């Protein structure tokens, strides 16, 4: 592959290749007859003519969603159902009336704004730590990709700063990508992109963090699975459960969410989170909030188009059906990664205006937030983020 851009790296860094490089919607980017949503074929008719009609209607349904034509998508879903065809996503669309209307966030206790430093670079995968908002700066070239970890002071001077404290090992031909801190701030997990045998590979490292932000005891994590690429990672509030995105063998789709637990100081082998959470396509950018609820991005669940943000939680030992966070958080574009400052303010990345920018979904009652914002969304909202 030489210096050509490694497709698997792009899949992790920007969730899936077409999002950044192609700009094409999910329905029309797939070749005729290629149907990753239904690899088993169990949801399609046996008759070739009916199978072709079913696939055409389903792809058109997905196209309407990605274009924001929700009325047309709903109308087509009803036609599809009337013909006796069946897909999980279309069944969900028809439950309880109009999916997109019932997930529109309303009632004025939150605002949704773009942070003022955004707009020039691609900023993705925000992570909060000790008053600082860390995020990944992604610079895309025709045949190359450069990743930088930066941060901004939430209650201090505005302006991005390079995160020199997170320069892990200074290895040649490697770049730091996503960072994730434990809830007590004593551990950090960093994804590293490194060239190996002419290809780019994503590995996971962990380190201890001092009170001054210095790193020590840096070591590879999940080294047993180093032949796979491991993406963004998150820890539960008690630090004993880890969820990450990865292309490990035995998954449901292209990139799945995997879970493991801390046992006697070592992480257990990861287990796929199953088909309630994972789909035939891409799930990534997981994040545990202070209540142990898991947020992630996906383009395989019913949503508003592209990659949307969802939430699931553990109920009686089982992960609940993912809930779409609704509009205006989600859009016809892509939302990649979300985090919280534990003061009822949530930060996420979206390319709804072109580049990937960081947005804040903010409680209007929060007085401590000093960071400048602009480009206010046309809706104030009360959302699903604080729903119990």
Among 20-29, 89-98, 179-188, 230-239, the least confident range: 20-29
CATH of region 106-386: 2.120.10.30
With a CB cutoff of 8 Å and minimum separation 6, the contacts of 254 are: 11, 16, 36, 247, 280, 281, 282
Query: Cα separation of 323 and 316, whole Å?
Result: 17
Which part of the chain is CATH 2.120.10.30? 106-386
Query: Cα separation of 340 and 348, whole Å?
Result: 9
Nearest CA-CA partner of 111 in 383, 384, 386: 383
- 13 pLDDT band, cuts 50/70/90, is very low
- What per-residue confidence (pLDDT) applies to 145? 55
- At residue 17, does pLDDT exceed 60? no
Can you give the pTM of this predicted structure? 0.78
pLDDT tens readout for residues 296-309: 999 999 999 999 99
The chain-wide mean pLDDT, for the chain, equals 74
- What per-residue confidence (pLDDT) applies to 87? 85
Query: Which is more confident, 283 or 371?
Result: 283
- 272 pLDDT band, cuts 50/70/90, is very high
Burial degree of 222 (CB within 10 A; 0-12, 13-18, 19+): buried
Assign 7 to helix, strand or coil. helix
Nearest CA-CA partner of 79 in 259, 187, 71: 71
Other C-beta atoms within 10 Å of 301: how many? 20
pLDDT tens readout for residues 41-57: 445 677 888 999 999 99
- At residue 29, does pLDDT exceed 60? no
With a CB cutoff of 8 Å and minimum separation 6, the contacts of 245 are: 12, 230, 231, 232, 255, 256, 257, 258, 283, 284, 285, 286, 296
| Secondary structure element (H or E) that encloses residue 54, with its range | helix 48-67
- At residue 166, does pLDDT exceed 60? no
For every residue of 156-181, DSSP letters joined together read S--S-EE-GGG--S--TTEEEEEEEE
């Amino acid at each position: 592959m030489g210096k050509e851009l490694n497709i698997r790296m792009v899949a992790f860094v920007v969730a899936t290749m077409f999002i950044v490089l192609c700009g094409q919607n999910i329905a029309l980017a797939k070749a005729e007859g290629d149907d990753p949503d239904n690899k088993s074929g169990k949801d399609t008719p046996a008759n070739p003519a009916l199978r072709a009609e079913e696939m055409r209607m389903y792809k058109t349904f997905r196209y309407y969603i990605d274009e924001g034509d929700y009325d047309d998508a709903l109308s087509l879903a009803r036609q599809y159902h009337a013909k006796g065809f069946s897909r999980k996503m279309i069944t969900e669309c028809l439950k309880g009336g109009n999916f997109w209307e019932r997930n529109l966030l309303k009632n004025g206790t939150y605002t949704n704004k773009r942070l003022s430093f955004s707009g020039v670079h691609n900023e993705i995968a925000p992570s909060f730590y000790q008053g600082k908002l860390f995020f990944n700066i992604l610079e895309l070239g025709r045949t190359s990709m450069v990743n930088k970890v930066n941060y901004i002071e939430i209650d201090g001077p505005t302006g991005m700063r390079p995160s020199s404290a997170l320069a892990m090992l200074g290895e040649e031909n490697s770049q730091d990508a996503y960072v994730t801190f434990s809830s007590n701030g004593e551990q950090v997990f960093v994804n590293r992109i490194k060239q190996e045998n002419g290809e780019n590979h994503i590995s996971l490292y962990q380190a201890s963090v001092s009170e001054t932000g210095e790193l020590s005891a840096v070591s590879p994590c999940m080294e047993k699975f180093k032949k796979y690429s491991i993406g963004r990672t998150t820890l539960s509030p008690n630090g004993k459960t880890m969820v990450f995105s990865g292309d490990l063998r035995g998954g449901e789709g292209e990139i799945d969410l995997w879970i493991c637990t801390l046992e006697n100081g070592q992480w257990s082998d990861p287990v796929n989170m199953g088909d309630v959470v994972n789909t035939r396509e891409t799930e990534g950018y997981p994040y545990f909030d202070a209540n142990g609820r898991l947020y992630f991005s996906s383009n395989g669940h019913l949503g508003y188009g592209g990659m949307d943000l969802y939430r699931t939680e553990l109920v009686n030992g089982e992960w609940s059906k993912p809930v779409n966070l609704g509009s205006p958080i989600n859009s016809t574009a892509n939302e990649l990664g979300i985090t919280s400052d534990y003061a009822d303010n949530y930060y996420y990345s979206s390319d709804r205006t072109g580049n990937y920018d960081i947005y804040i979904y903010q409680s209007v009652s929060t007085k401590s937030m000093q960071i400048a914002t602009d480009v206010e969304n046309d809706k104030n909202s009360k959302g699903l983020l604080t729903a119990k």
